[in-house]
Chain A
Amino acid sequence: MELTGNLVLQAIEMLVVLALAPGLTGLVRKVKARLTRRRGASVLQPYRDLLRLLRKEVVLAENASWLFRVSPYMIFAATWVAAALVPTFAIGLHFNWTADLIALVALLGSARFFLALAGMDVGTSFGGIGSSREMMIGALAEPAMLLMAFTVALVAGSTQLSNIVAFMASGEVGIRVSMGMALIALIIVAIAENARIPVDNPATHLELTMVHEAMVLEYSGRHLAMIEMAASLKLLLYMALIGCVFVPWGIAPADAGISGLALGAALFVIKLAVGGTMLAVFETSIAKMRVFRVPDFLGAALMLGLLGTLLLFVSRSL
């Protein structure tokens, strides 16, 4: 009975995540539009876009292979599974024990791997330019992310996200320099991984400056819908990750009862709204950087992650 309840809760969580993701993207776009004194589309616009794309036919490039058609579903599935690993409003769900923070990073790596391959499949230079740059960014972001995971795991004594959240929420942690460094490193990685300004511009229309958009240039219809959905999910995943590790308050244990879970869910939505607004403000206040400045940016994240880890060796209380 307990197992069934837990599984139902798991399913609800996965569906909530799926339902909220386009809304978060819509919110970021809305706030950005307001900040630049435009009215902007409704927060619900991404939902409408997705439905429209799903209904449209797929226009497939002549040279596209089966890999190109399978990839959107693979990318979506890997990202969704990764998102299900992050505690959003409840911890202790069974699926949390399937994989830990390191596996989560690697799952996102799998999604990126297939996205980059899909970019290479049609055989145009835009796909290649996007794939090669994405893999370069990924190659630098992944170690930074892992070092951040090391720091957090060293503090919490576990790489299992449920345990980390429980430890962080317990109040034993206090304010630590190393956690601050890990937070900045994670934010930098999140910006790079989600193709946000200053690393990449999600709204660009110039092929040569694209990274993420160049890879998916050939996608259309339902395939594009799956990829857009996966991108939204990834943004939500990173927000939820930052939220659950650094502001873990309100996340309920799986056996907390309806009221506890409802409170957790409400707080989760508020956290997402705050995070989305902050992202929009940050993106509006900064210019996109040249592609070859990105390594410096990510190098900073790598160094911060390493410093955070090393500080913990100097003193367990830093």
Chain B
Amino acid sequence: MIAAAAGIALCLLALSVAATAMRGLTAASAAVYAASAVFCLALALVGIWTLATQADASAMTVPVGLPWLGAHLRLDALSAVFLVILGTGGVSASVFAIGYGRHEHEPHRVLPFFPGFLAAMTLVLLADDAFTFLVSWEVMSLLSWALVLTHHRDEATRTAGYLYLVMAGFGTMVLLLAFGLMAGAEGGYDFAAIRAVTRSPGLAALVLALMMVGAGSKAGLMPLHVWLPVAHPAAPSHVSALMSGVMTKVALYGFVRVAFDLVGPVPWWMSVPMIVIGAVTAVMGILFANVDGDGKRVLAYSTIENIGVIFAAFGLSLAFRANGMGPLAALALTAGLVHAVNHMLFKSLLFMVAGAVLNATGRRDLDGLGGLIHRMPKTAFLALVGATAIAALPPLNGFVSEWLLFQAVLQSPQLPQPGLQFLVPAAGALLALAAALAAACFVRFYGVIFLGRPRSDVARNAADSDGWSLAAMGGLALLCVLAGIVPGFLIDLVAPAVELAVGARVPMQAGNSWFTVVPVAEVRSSYSGFLVMTFIAISGGASAWLVHRLASRRLRRAPAWDCGFPNADPVTQYGGGSFAQPIRRVMAPVLAARETVTIPPPGDMAAARHRARTEDLAWTRIYLPLVTAVGFVARRFNALQFLTIRRYLGLVFGSLILLLTGLTIWN
């Protein structure tokens, strides 16, 4: 199987080269995306096959890269889960792009990088030595950077690209340190050697902390998230879908691979920062999503929230595992992995919706849209499925993973450490807050874009998306529904990976009657999305039928209630800013929200102004001072650039002496 997966990755790389060659062709775009879709489908099938048959890990060594090392590749259950995520996300993004890509003005800025980006992510998942892993990781970062810069003539995009490059470079540097520490002085860089070493708890914790910074910066953990809400939306929408839906998961894979597999036993207290950071990331991410005025940025912030949720689940799983509670660790990890799959599904869907809206109207600011449910009915319906799913509402899939996570949180009294006993319920409260805020966020997202009256001419004249885009979105929406009503299949699918990571699994779900999910035991809790869906459909349908049959079915159209002010302008509707006002005001301290009202003096006919501003405290308190400090130091050292050759030689000589002295003293 590994040969097949590696072969597909190679095909994707070759497709990248072919796309460069095809730059003049008009059909190039459709051909490249169609081929990507086929390869991604194959990847997903390889992943599903590996999981369903519970195949043993298969490995191979390719003689490329470092001469004494070669490139080790390996496919086991954990890689397979993420391969399924990558494959599914890739298929849908590629199919969407067959239609969406037609509107790209400069397709040659996307086409060569798109398959390569997919190939690099595949190789990260398959890598079995530190060298291959880091090189693929870096290629993934650089190609996604190139994709972010597609619309490079836009000043904001260039800034986003620069920020992304800096953060990606920083992340990889930290990963390098983490893998260096794991390989140790002997330098055993392949994963089998890393696995074989026994480490002190302190060293394991240090490696994990570095992984949290390195992989966390790519996934969007606070406070390393600042690049994500600017870079993800700057890319074309199908690339945004891949970056948010898939690349963040690849980053999580890197973390899971190290934390649950490579580094060995981890002390329990390492789970504390993970749970805290995860829960705080979830709440802060969704708060920013609630107040932001740009549709795609709202989605990017919501990605940060979901990554926080998944990360908290991983932390909880580590806590259980460190205490030898295998089944509970399995429950928490299952919740995290299922949520990762779910998030790929609905976030890709929603980014495609944002792309379709962007295509139809040319705008992505919430306050320029509105009423699109009339102009784009099909897209609007699919968007509704996505919004309901991401808001963690039953009977769709987002709720299932949240529910599993809450079940794991409820098991926390069994933990022996009092610190964790107190921490976990508090984190559970934060996660519940995040889930409820997500519902508010997506009422706002959907309500302002699709409902109400159009706020601009472009929104008034929008047309629905093309067939390819609708097919991609429809497929994802269908998967969201299926994963919501029969989640048992998904839970069983990720079970081999969970077993590999924590040595235990949740009970087999396929045998349960009525598609009920029973994570621990039936006396504790059970949930059947299928029955909930059926009952809602029956009672809703029956009541509608009865009311229409027995009571009245008459209907008359009339103007809306205007409270005595007829012909109100569409801008008087609630928009993005006004809908966010209650939450902005309640959460003002954490959002640093300020409102200023300027009213002209009496007699002056100028318009009054109301400005609401929020700021990211991580940016203003951490990054801006850092940037200032770096700038200050750089300016100081700038003088060194204009010295004579004698002074340079003196400088070199001086530093040599200094280093040698240091070395002598140290020895």
Contacts and interface: CB of A to CB of B under 8 A. Distances in A.
A62 B559 contact: yes
A226 interface: yes
B373 A136 contact: no
Contacts of B394: 99, 103, 106-107, 110
Given A81-B539, A154-B413, A146 B429 contact: yes
Contact of B531 (A62, A98, A221): A98
A222 B539 CA distance: 16
A154 B412 CA distance: 10
Contacts of B535: 77, 81, 84, 95, 98
Interface in B509-567: 514, 516, 522-528, 531-532, 535-537, 539-541, 543-544, 547-548, 551-552, 554-563
Contacts of A140: 433, 436, 586
A132 B574 contact: yes
B582 interface: yes
A200 interface: no
Interface in B404-451: 406-407, 409-410, 413, 418, 421-422, 425-426, 428-430, 432-433, 435-437, 439-440, 442-444, 446-448, 451
A302 B556 CA distance: 45
Given A54-B551, A123-B573, A222-B552, A146 B406 contact: yes
A92 interface: no
A269 interface: no
A123 B452 contact: yes
B74 interface: no
Given A107-B532, A125-B573, A136 B440 contact: yes
A249 interface: no
A269 B400 CA distance: 35
B560 A146 contact: no
A222 B561 contact: no
Contacts of B586: 136, 140, 292, 295
Nearest to A50: B551
A312 B413 contact: yes
B388 interface: yes
B554 A58 contact: yes
A60 interface: yes
B540 A77 contact: yes
Contact of B435 (A81, A100, A142, A150): A142
A160 B432 contact: no
Contacts of B418: 313
A123 to B, nearest CB: 3
Contacts of B355: none
A318 B329 CA distance: 28
Contacts of A217: 561
B532 A81 contact: yes
A212 to B, nearest CB: 14
Contacts of A141: 436
A309 B425 contact: yes
B481 to A, nearest CB: 14
A228 interface: no
Contact of B451 (A77, A112, A123): A123
Main secondary structure of the interface of B (DSSP, over half): helix
B579 interface: yes
B568 interface: yes
Nearest to B528: A98
A98 B516 contact: yes
Contact of B524 (A60, A138, A159, A218): A159
Interface in A81-114: 81, 84, 95, 97-100, 102-103, 106-107, 109-110, 112-113
Contacts of B430: 143
Contacts of A154: 410, 413
A99 B528 CA distance: 6
B536 A78 contact: yes
Tell me which of B426, B442, B525 has the highest count of chain A C-beta atoms within 10 A of its own C-beta. Answer: B525
B515 to A, nearest CB: 10
B574 A128 contact: yes
B558 A292 contact: no
A1 B572 CA distance: 60
Nearest to B370: A123
Contacts of B555: 57-58, 60
A67 interface: yes
Contact of A109 (B393, B406, B559, B570): B393
B453 interface: yes
B498 interface: no
B456 interface: no
B594 interface: no
A63 B453 contact: yes
A250 interface: no
A158 B525 contact: yes
B158 interface: no
B344 interface: no
A133 interface: yes
A105 B393 CA distance: 10
A132 B524 contact: no
Nearest to B412: A313
A39 interface: no
A249 to B, nearest CB: 22
A140 B531 CA distance: 28
Contacts of B436: 109, 138-143
B585 interface: yes
A135 B440 contact: yes
A7 to B, nearest CB: 12
Given A132-B574, A138-B440, A61 B543 contact: no
Contact of A147 (B425, B447, B448, B451): B425
A76 B407 CA distance: 28
Nearest to B447: A120
A301 B558 CA distance: 42
A158 B578 CA distance: 41
Contacts of B432: 142-143, 146-147
A139 B523 contact: no
A132 B452 contact: no
Interface in B8-26: none
A54 B552 CA distance: 6
Interface in A144-181: 146-147, 150, 153-154, 157-160, 163
A111 B551 CA distance: 23
A124 B370 CA distance: 12
Given A57-B554, A59-B558, A131-B574, A159 B525 contact: yes
Contacts of A143: 429-430, 432-433, 436
A182 interface: no
Most buried by B among A98, A116, A140: A98
A92 to B, nearest CB: 12
A160 B579 CA distance: 36
A116 B435 CA distance: 16
B536 A81 contact: yes
Chain B CB within 10 A, most for which of A74, A153, A158, A226: A158
B581 A132 contact: yes
A77 B544 CA distance: 10
Nearest to A119: B447
Interface string A213-243: 0000110011001100000000000000000
Q: 9 tightest A-B contacts by CB?
A: A128-B574, A77-B540, A120-B447, A123-B452, A136-B582, A57-B554, A135-B440, A142-B436, A123-B453
17 contacts: A66-B377, A73-B540, A73-B544, A77-B535, A78-B536, A110-B393, A113-B393, A124-B573, A128-B447, A132-B582, A135-B440, A136-B586, A139-B433, A139-B437, A150-B409, A160-B526, A292-B582
Given A143-B436, A147-B425, A222-B551, 8 more contacts: A109-B436, A117-B451, A120-B443, A128-B579, A132-B581, A143-B432, A154-B413, A222-B552
Interface of B: 370-371, 373-374, 377, 384, 388, 391-394, 399, 402-403, 406-407, 409-410, 413, 418, 421-422, 425-426, 428-430, 432-433, 435-437, 439-440, 442-444, 446-448, 451-453, 514, 516, 522-528, 531-532, 535-537, 539-541, 543-544, 547-548, 551-552, 554-563, 568, 570, 572-574, 578-583, 585-586
